[in-house]
Amino acid sequence: MADETPAAPDLHIDIERLLTRIDALGQIGRIDGPNGEWGNARLALTDADRAGRDLVVGWMRELGMEIAVDAIGNVVATRAGSDPSLSAVMIGSHIDTVGTGGRFDGNLGVLAGLEIVETLDAAGLAAERPLQVAFFTDEEGSRFAPDMLGSQVYVGGLDLEQALDVVAADDGARLGEELVRIGYAGDVECPTARPPHAFVELHIEQGPILEADDVTIGVVEGVQGISWTEIVIIGQSAHAGTTPMRLRHDPAFCAAAIATYVRDLTHHLGSDQVGTVGRIEVHPNLVNVVPARAALTVDLRNTDERVLQEAEGRLSAFLEELAESEGVQISTTTLARFEPVEFDPAMVDLVETTARRLGHSTRRLSSGAGHDAQMLARICPTAMIFTPSVNGLSHNIAEFTEAVDIEAGANVLLQVVLDQLEVG
């Protein structure tokens, strides 16, 4: 538990400076919608990701931080402490986005970290412990599965060589080659040899709970389990007019049946089970051809590992029945599988007491989205702070969080970091 008074009660972040950086980073890979909404496409290790990385690294340098790029392209900037033998307090998140992402998802956590460094510097507040701001490679997993790839390698949960060999879903590029191409194949050892003292991630909620409850700060207790499967169906390509229905082996029909089954499954297993078919591809994708092949992804999530396993088991049984009844071949590949994670109870308490001390309403919740913090939780005490998402939207260019909520979240982050740095 934290002390009764904040470490440096008069210290506040500069919201205009933070918003200016969020806006500037958002200009890279900017996507404009029809009604003034705008977001980002900076898929991992694309040219846009490189430009975003270069901008953020430039800011880190301007703040006098020491930059380290590791073998999977994670970037860790360090504000020196007076005792370099102490492990660092780390603030981190990601700056890659999904192909139709918002400008806050991930970016907020990284740029709030820089804002805290600048706030401490401006106040002349030194610490014995180093303070680090990190962004991890390919958190989104949209281009290179799994998600949280960089932070998973960082904590030793995924083999470096295996991660470098991952092939992109869209263009077939190899992750390791893309890292070299964009200039972020670093030489620092990964997994890390120096686990942080503590890790804190500020993130938008990306869902509707805080807004519905009119609460400013989400105290994140953990992250639900995630299961991603790619399913490939091979059937028989045929003429759409001449082939009787009883003779068809139609992968498009099977893909649709799987999507329907996933929806039914979530109803059957209850409200905490979510299921998404986010990608469906059909070949040759022509109006008058029964397709030869379909590929689709299924994303299943639950806070309860047992129920998640049941969902996986039922889906797999359904695929077997479908292959048999439709006379098609169905194969599956696991793209990501993470069990539910619980954050360190003392860190969760610290976020809650800090937010309340600063006068904010709070609510405990579990994260529906995956985060780098769930990987860092494997190697050090970890916490997350959520701020509300307008209309609960994220992974959508209309994603938005009010400035007043960003300011509240960043000030909570500041005080939590000061507590962990033992400054004040």
Q: Which residues of 309-337 are buried (b: 16+ CB within 10 A; e: fewer)?
A: ebbbebbeebbeebbeebebebeeeebbe
Q: How many residues bind Mn ion (CB under 5 A)?
A: 2
User: Which stretch, 70-78, 100-108, 280-288, 415-423, contacts Mn ion (CB under 5 A)?
Assistant: 100-108
CA torsion, ordered 129, 130, 133, 138, to nearest 10 deg: -100
- Closest to Mn ion by CB, 140 vs 250, is 140
CA torsion, ordered 340, 344, 345, 349, to nearest 10 deg: -120
Q: Where are the alpha helices (DSSP H) in 364-402?
A: 372-376
Least CB distance to ligand GLV at residue 277 (A): 14
Q: Which of 49, 96, 105, 178 binds Mn ion (CB under 5 A)?
A: 105
**DSSP strand pairing (341-342 vs 274-276):** unpaired
Could you tell which of Mn ion, ligand GLV, none binds residue 370, using a CB distance below 5 to 8 A set by kind?
ligand GLV
- Closest to ligand GLV by CB, 99 vs 424, is 99
If binding is defined by CB under 5 A, does position 96 make contact with Mn ion?
Answer: no
Check if the beta carbon of residue 350 is closer than 8 Å to that of residue 199: no
- Closest to Mn ion by CB, 99 vs 157, is 99
- Whole-number Cα distances in Å, 155 to 1, 57, 107, 191: 26, 22, 21, 5
State the Cα–Cα distance between residues 43 and 98, nearest whole angstrom. Answer: 6
User: Which stretch, 32-40, 98-106, 179-187, 263-271, contacts Mn ion (CB under 5 A)?
Assistant: 98-106
Quote the distance between the C-alpha of residue 112 and its chain's center: 16
Least CB distance to ligand GLV at residue 369 (A): 4
Least CB distance to Mn ion at residue 45 (A): 16
If binding is defined by CB under 5 A, does position 106 make contact with Mn ion?
Answer: yes
- Closest to Mn ion by CB, 25 vs 328, is 25
- Closest to Mn ion by CB, 106 vs 225, is 106
- Closest to ligand GLV by CB, 31 vs 274, is 274
Coil, strand, or helix at residue 308? helix
132 token code pair: 């680090």
Q: Which of 369, 380, 384, 408 binds ligand GLV (CB under 6 A)?
A: 369
Residues 116-145 that bind ligand GLV (CB under 6 A): 140
Could you tell which of ligand GLV, Mn ion, none binds residue 250, using a CB distance below 5 to 8 A set by kind?
none
If binding is defined by CB under 5 A, does position 399 make contact with Mn ion?
Answer: no
Q: Which of 191, 370, 381, 409 binds ligand GLV (CB under 6 A)?
A: 370
If binding is defined by CB under 6 A, does position 416 make contact with ligand GLV?
Answer: no
H/E stretch holding 293 reads: strand 293-302
Check if the beta carbon of residue 84 is closer than 8 Å to that of residue 177: no
If binding is defined by CB under 6 A, does position 372 make contact with ligand GLV?
Answer: no
Cβ atoms within 10 Å of 36's Cβ, excluding its own: 7
Residue 167 is given by DSSP the state B
- Closest to Mn ion by CB, 29 vs 130, is 29
Site map (CB under 5 A) of Mn ion, residues 317-356, x = contact = ----------------------------------------
- Residue matched to tokens 């980073």: 25
If binding is defined by CB under 6 A, does position 147 make contact with ligand GLV?
Answer: yes
Least CB distance to ligand GLV at residue 387 (A): 16
Q: Can you give the binding site for ligand GLV, defined by CB under 6 A?
A: 140, 147, 369-370
Q: Can you give the binding site for Mn ion, defined by CB under 5 A?
A: 105-106
